[in-house]
Amino acid sequence: MSEKNIPKHVAIIMDGNGRWAQARGKKRTSGHKVGVERAREVIEAAGNLGVESLTLFAFSSENWNRPKEEVSYLMELFIVALNREVKTLNKHGVKLKFLGDTGAFNSKLQESIKKAEALTENNRNVRLNIAANYGGQWDITQAVNNILRESPGIQQIDELMLEKNLVTHDLPPLDLLIRTGGETRISNFLIWQAAYAELYFCDTLWPDFDSNQLKKAIDAYQGRQRRFGKTGEQVSQEEK
């Protein structure tokens, strides 16, 4: 991995907690607990490497369909982890933002989210975005609804308008999308934003993903040629 050409915006689908725990004869929830520890390590590593914006998929709009006990465990885990980590994140100049329909969470979690966002609002070092109750289809729909609300009677929208109304509007374009846990799908994550992101899938289950694994993913990213529709020759020429 080179210190140059670090992706500005990395997003991670942190998958495999349940299988990691089950393989050890433990309950799925214990995998989520270890998963939080790995998130902490990866957040720190990304900051040290110079990633400007890190977006972690913590809970999808479809994850409500899980058993009630698992959903409640996750909600409690989010509250505890957030309250515990927010001071350290703030000390490191991290600006925290939640992406998703957080209004559906219980009031305790909503309160923790509001406080954490307010405390870190003016930080400028790194952006940490937690996608919670997020769905890419929800994101695009809420963007369209924003536009309709702000410009009633509007007849046509364009891509730039839509992009400006996505929850990621103030973040750099997505460069690298990582999915751990062996599945090769997007699961309704940043579907618009991933249009030209480099995709990286690995079999490592999230509780085993560490800073070295992150470096491996960035190394793979650095080996890609991002052509954005052009020919390889054109891009090589421009890089000279």
Query: Which residues line the annotated binding site for Mg(2+)?
Result: 15, 198
Catalytically annotated residue among 15, 133, 165, 175 = 15
- Provide the minimum distance between the beta carbon of 80 and Mg ion in the complex, in angstroms, as a whole number: 21
Q: How far apart are CA 129 and CA 57, in angstroms?
A: 9
Nearer to ligand IPE by Cβ, of 7 and 18: the residue is: 18
- Residue of 83, 62, 80, 76 lying closest to 15 (CA atoms): 62
- Provide the minimum distance between the beta carbon of 15 and Mg ion in the complex, in angstroms, as a whole number: 4
Annotated binding site for substrate: 16-20, 28, 32, 60-62, 64, 66, 179, 185-187
Q: How far apart are CA 148 and CA 175, in angstroms?
A: 29
198 touches Mg ion (CB under 5 A): no
User: Cα torsion for 175, 3, 38, 212, to the nearest 10°?
Assistant: 110
Q: Residue 92 touches which of ligand IPE, Mg ion, none (CB < 5 to 8 A by kind)?
A: none
Residue nearest to ligand IPE (CB): 18
Phi, psi (5° rounding) for residue 151?
Answer: -130, 75
Token pair, residue 137, equals 């289809």
**Active-site residue 175, yes or no?**
no
The piece of 10-18, 52-60, 107-115, 219-227 that touches Mg ion (CB under 5 A) is 10-18
Cβ atoms within 10 Å of 216's Cβ, excluding its own? 17
**Active-site residue 203, yes or no?**
no
Token pair, residue 189, equals 């994550």
What is the chain's alpha carbon radius of gyration, rounded to the nearest angstrom?
A: 18
15 touches Mg ion (CB under 5 A): yes
Contacting residues toward ligand IPE, per CB under 6 A: 13-19, 57-60, 63, 74, 181, 183, 185, 187
- For Mg ion, the binding residues (CB under 5 A) are 15
Q: Would you name the residues annotated as active-site residues?
A: 15, 63
